[in-house]
Structure formats: structure tokens, C-alpha cells
Structure 1
């Protein structure tokens, strides 16, 4: 896959000419980030250039900016059902508007995949569907703020889906069912404990199927980290302060098992999730004197990590498909516990485990009206009741998500539904 990695990290031949689009970041040599008008023109040019790319508007922000999805393949899939099951990846770029390096890496990767002519990339795209949301938080990017126009952290809204941005992403996850979900971010260092060039983290939520969890940790430790280190960058685990002398963890500051965080939501839904964070701080006197050097280093580390991700997608194709397929069909057996807390590095307490979950949850008419659209966006199935309410069975693909949405003990539930213990009439419910 060396040829494919080179394609992703290097602009195609002729990129300096008039026919191959370049981002504002590229034309300014890293002095500034790509503006949103430049992004729109860039993506439109790529879309016109090749049948490998299709672009959709999947949502609109409160301030009227489009949230877009780029579909890439050989050729690009026309419909969700054309996605290569078991071989699809979704890149979510810059959920936090003041973390732009992932967006720049995503934009250039879209272009390089679209224009590549080497056999390795063409073979890869013949077997893999690549989905990209280049700017997941357009209002935040325009304002250079972490949150969206309402100040909401979108990466804490993947359960309630109250923001238009999270709702757009949930629609893509529901319709395209990506097997791998890769989320690009940035972070500020805390010396001397938290200073690596690039950090990554898999789904820690305990409802993530074991095989999916194994593939996600492999993506992080066996592919992303080595690819980044090969380019001369340092790596570590996100959310853990580490003693620089002993290498032992000192404090967990983030990255727990919260189901509302995208990498954890991905795991609960059966996708191989990964969060990647590159360091924003200037590392040298030269970077302090010239912000362009700092910007270019941040984007370069993101591109190095993406190279590792694409190598993983190619080499673990069969394992990914087996893991995600098993995770998404396991719910139909309606067996096993559901975890309302804990993480893979923090065992759940007894009161955080539904050891014997109910077979369904009952929503009255008022509750159902309030949560119906959110359940639909998550891909949850239900059976309508005569009184206008609904019964949501656990025997479905989204089995482990249902209690997180409806059980009173779940930390971020949408509503408090009534557990149902006898479900002969509702198992296998439908919408």
C-alpha cells in the first residue's frame, strides 16, 4: 500500500496547474486555513472532474451553511444501498470549528483520491466506499469556535441529536452504515504529561462488541501510530496524562465511555470508531515565528495518520466486515447485558449494568411524539400501539442503543420509558 499512501499525502501531478483544484491552505502555503467559499469551489471542481466523486447536501446549519457529504468510489455510489458493505469508511472532519487541520487533510485527501491514476488507489476504490464530511461544523469553522452557532459541542450530541449538524451525521450513519468511522480533531498540550504530536482513541464504551473493539484498537495501535511515527511524529493515547519518565498513566482527563461522544456512538452502533487529535501548540521557535510552519506540521500529522487508516482499511478488509456484521446482527438474539456506565479502562459498577434487560420499552403517545424523529435518525425500530404510543423491542440491530436512549438509569436518556418484561406480541417490531 505504499503507492496508495503516497497518493494520499502528496498532491497529484499537475496540482500546480490550472486544471487540478487546490485548497486555500495549499495556495497560501499554510499561512491560512481554507475559507468556506474556497471549500465550496474546490469541492465543486472535484465533483465535476470525475465520476469517482458525488457530493450531497445532508443538512443545513442554523446560520444557513450546508453540511456536505462527499461519496468516493470507482465509481462513486449513487445510493446508500450501493455502498460496499463491510468495506466502507466515514471520515468526520472538524466537528469542533476551532480545530481545522483535520478538515484540510480531508479536503486534500478527497482531491487526491479523485485524481489518482495509480493502480493501487484504483484497486482500493473499486473495493471500498469512502465517505467524507469535510466540515462537520460550518458555523463553528466560520467563527473559529469549538461549538456550533448555539455554542453546543456537537461531539456531545450524538445521542440526543438536538443540533442540525449531529442530525445530519446520524442520517449518514443510519443510511450508509459505515464499517469504520474516523473522527479528526485537535488538542492543546499540557506539559509535561500530555505533549505528543498526535493522539488517538478507540470506543471505550462497554457496549462495543469485542471484535469491533479489537479492530478499533488495532487501527490505533498497529496502523495509525506506526504511520505517524514513521513520519517523525510522536504518538500517545488521547485522554491520558502520562508520566514522561516512567510512561505510567497519571490521570484520565477525557476519553471515557460516554455514549454521546461520536467514537463511542460508533462503537455502540457496530462501527470501528477512532478519534484522532493532533497537537496545536507551536513546538519550536521557528513555528512560533511563522504560524504557517505550525499549521503545516499539524496537517502533515493528520495526513500521516490517514495513511495508516487507509492501510488498515485495505489489509483488514475481511476482519472489519466480519466484526461489524456480527455486531449488527447480535442484537436479534436479544441476549447479554447492556452497560449504562463504565469503560474499557473503568469497569462498570453493579448499578451500571442491566444484567437482565427488559425485552422492550413502552412509550406513551406524548413521549413517542417527542422522540420519534430521534429514534428514526438512529435507525431504531418500534411497533406502534393503539393509543398512539409505541413499543421499542430490544430484539433489533440497535439493541444496545435502545436502553441508552430510554432507560431512566442511562446517563443521557431521551425520556424515561416503561420497561416491558413480557414481549411475545412485540418482538420483531417494525416502524
Structure 2
């Protein structure tokens, strides 16, 4: 099993010829390689090497653009790679059409996803495969190769402030989470793939690759169904076909029976990206690969361990692209209808619970207010965050009204109701709007 054998080879339902393929062997010698690839997996790609590779593909490929979309506290760039069939897709085109967003290395000490993303960018930039180009005609590909470059440089989970970015997608206190929020607002990706790594707990939590969809109850049913389909029918089977064991993130299983034993993570809290993505009407998926050495050979040679971790991420991407190609119409129907549903302003809003943990009456707004009123002072404190989330508001007397009748209807109480776990401010419920 080689890196190129798994990179972007999208398996059909019958495991036929791959849809997305890497450049031919002759082309690979002429195209840039990551530091990880050049070292045979002995080390991770450095940040200067990442910048060199991105600059090269930006220069060489007319279908690729690399934009600086943010800056970390340490001054490192947050970059978005836009990939189309012939020219880079614009935000307007992406928001109107089908798109997939890869978010890589939110946690700085989880590098394998970043390597899979960098090789994906390179392969899509240089490929001449007709089926791949046809895919890009119908789906825009967006990639943030390193969401947390300060953490990657330091080898830490958090960013330069020690903040876990993947717990900041509601409050938006970090430059990194603010950048992601702006991308979700402006590009409206239909599918989001969030690449992570995890440490196992033998013998209950030991699979090579774990995946999980948005569990938050405010995710539209059709969006959640597509996300679960992505996990259970595409990403996990693709990893299994490549020789990896798979499971559901956050669930310990009995090593003999395979039955669930205990849930240790993977709840419905809205500040985690896979849940934020669902609330914002994207088909989101978390993919986690196992970090520790599995064999004596991997213990003796860290490069073997590193390659296995990256290969499992690439296998997950295989399933992702296959999913998008085969279910594009269903995905667009699910996300499109979800974005319109809020204008009807009907149904409960959930302040807690998950798809496997019913909300209590105290966590359920059965008859939500028509909006929330903020004082001018409150609005001044949270206006930037509301704008980054894409939440609409309007002047109302001496204050500001945030109506529920909008696309992000179910997000509004999570931001403004004092009973919500991660609310930005405690606004007054409005009975008339």
C-alpha cells in the first residue's frame, strides 16, 4: 500500500476504476512533493515547505488560487485553496453551486490530515484525468491546509493562546475560528470534511479510523441523513476497502461483540465544527485517524506509523469524493431546502440533546420567540460575531432586533438565549417582530 495508491482514488460502488486520480508517474516527477513524501514519511511537511508547495501550485495551475483569508496571532497566514476545472471558483459561484470544503489540522498536534490535504491540493492542481476534471466542473473544491498554523509550529492542540479552535465555532474568539466562520458564510459549502487524529483507549477504542456526523438536534433531518450516509456508506467502507478498521467517533465498543459500551465524546454541543456545520446547513463530517504505533515495526520505524496515519486519511477522502460525485443532487437538495426552511419560522429549537440523547423539556424551545432584542450596548459587543456567522439583524427602536425568520433561524437562540450553553449575550425574547 503506497501513498499514491490511496491518494484521491475514488472507488465506485462496485470498486471500479477511480474517479479522482493522482498524476501519472511521469508527471509526479515534474510536480512538487510535500516534505512528508520526500522523506518517505520520516517527518512532517514543514511550514516553509507548505508555503513553497502552495505558491508553486498557485503559479503552475490555472485552475487553482491560493488566498490569504486570515492571520494568526503569531502572524502566520491562514490560507484558502480554491480549485475548479479550468479556473478557480469564486465565492459567488461556490455559494450557488455544489462545493466541498476540507478543513485540516484544527488541532496543531494532529498532522496527518494536513498531509492528506496538501497532497490532495497538488493532485487536483496537476491532474489531467478526464473524470477528475469533469468532477471539478460540477463541484468546487476548497481546502484550508492548516487551520491552526501556530499550533502546528508549536506541536500543540490549541493555538497560540492555548485555545482549542474546535470549541470556538460559536463564540469566535480566535482568529482561526473567525476565519472559518467567514468561509462558511461566504462560500456556503455543501459538504465539510474535518480531519483530525485521536489517541486510542485499548481495548474499547482502537479503530484505525473513526468518523462522526453532526449530532446536534438543530441540524435539518435531510442534512443529517446525508452526513450519516457519508460516514456509514462511503468514508468508512472506503477506509475498510483500503485495509483499515473503522468505527464511530466517541463510542467505546466491546472488543468481542462489537456492541457499544460507553460514549466518551461526540455529543451535540454546537460549538464543535461538525455540529456548527450541521446547524449552518452543511453536510459535515469529522474524520479521526489513530495516532499510536500499531505494530512492533511501527514502534521501531516512526515513518511506518506516520504513513499509515496519512494513508487512512487519504482513504477517507476517497470515500468523501465518491460520495459527492454519486449523491450531488441529493446533497444539494438537502442543503438547499435546509437554508430555506428558517424563513418559515416553524418548529422547536433545541438548546441541548443530541440525535442519540433526546433533549429534555428544559432544553427545548417548543414555541420559540419571533426574535431577540438587544440593547445598543449588547449589539456593539456581539455585532462582529453575528456578522461572521451570517445572522441578520435590524434596528428596532433604541436597540436591535434579531429575528428568527431567517436562514440561520435555529442558530439565533444558541447565540442569544441566556439558557443556551454558549450564548454570546443574554438578549430579551421578543413576542412581536
Determine the structure 2 residue equivalent to 1:92: 103
Determine the structure 2 residue equivalent to 1:311: 322
Cα gap change, 1:381 to 1:179, in 2 (>3 Å): same
Cα drift, residue 249 of structure 1:
1.2
Supply the distance in 1 between the matched residues of 2:99 and 2:222 (Cα, whole angstroms): 17
For structure 2, which runs of at least 5 residues remain unmatched after alignment?
A: 1-9
Supply the distance in 1 between the matched residues of 2:323 and 2:153 (Cα, whole angstroms): 33
Supply the distance in 1 between the matched residues of 2:333 and 2:291 (Cα, whole angstroms): 37
Cα drift, residue 12 of structure 1:
4.0
1:224 equivalent to 2:235? Answer yes
Supply the distance in 2 between the matched residues of 1:348 and 1:245 (Cα, whole angstroms): 32
Residue 96 of structure 2 aligns to a residue in which SS?
coil
Cα drift, residue 85 of structure 1:
3.0
1:298 equivalent to 2:291? Answer no
Determine the structure 2 residue equivalent to 1:339: 350
Residue 78 of structure 2 aligns to a residue in which SS?
strand
Supply the distance in 2 between the matched residues of 1:47 and 1:385 (Cα, whole angstroms): 47
Cα drift, residue 23 of structure 1:
0.4
Give the number of aligned pairs: 421
Of residues 398, 407, 411 in structure 2, which corresponds to 1:401?
A: 411
Any conservation in 2 of the 1:227–1:308 contact (CA below 8 Å)? Answer: yes
Supply the distance in 1 between the matched residues of 2:27 and 2:120 (Cα, whole angstroms): 13
1:107 equivalent to 2:118? Answer yes
Cα gap change, 1:119 to 1:9, in 2 (>3 Å): closer
Cα drift, residue 73 of structure 1:
0.7
Supply the distance in 2 between the matched residues of 1:91 and 1:337 (Cα, whole angstroms): 31
Determine the structure 1 residue equivalent to 2:6: none
Which deviations, in whole Å up to 9, do the C-alpha atoms of 1:161-203 show, x marking residues without a partner? 0000000011100000000011000000100000000000000
Supply the distance in 1 between the matched residues of 2:46 and 2:370 (Cα, whole angstroms): 50
TM-score normalised per structure 2: 0.95
Supply the distance in 2 between the matched residues of 1:148 and 1:5 (Cα, whole angstroms): 41
Determine the structure 1 residue equivalent to 2:276: 265
1:32 equivalent to 2:21? Answer no
Any conservation in 1 of the 2:106–2:196 contact (CA below 8 Å)? Answer: yes
Supply the distance in 2 between the matched residues of 1:196 and 1:412 (Cα, whole angstroms): 32
1:411 equivalent to 2:428? Answer no
Any conservation in 2 of the 1:12–1:115 contact (CA below 8 Å)? Answer: no
1:41 equivalent to 2:52? Answer yes
List aligned pairs for 1:32-431, cutoff 5 A. Answer: 32-83=43-94, 85-387=96-398, 389-423=399-433
Which deviations, in whole Å up to 9, do the C-alpha atoms of 1:187-221 show, x marking residues without a partner? 00100000000000000000000000100000000
Determine the structure 1 residue equivalent to 2:7: none
Q: CA RMSD in A?
A: 1.4
Cα drift, residue 78 of structure 1:
4.8
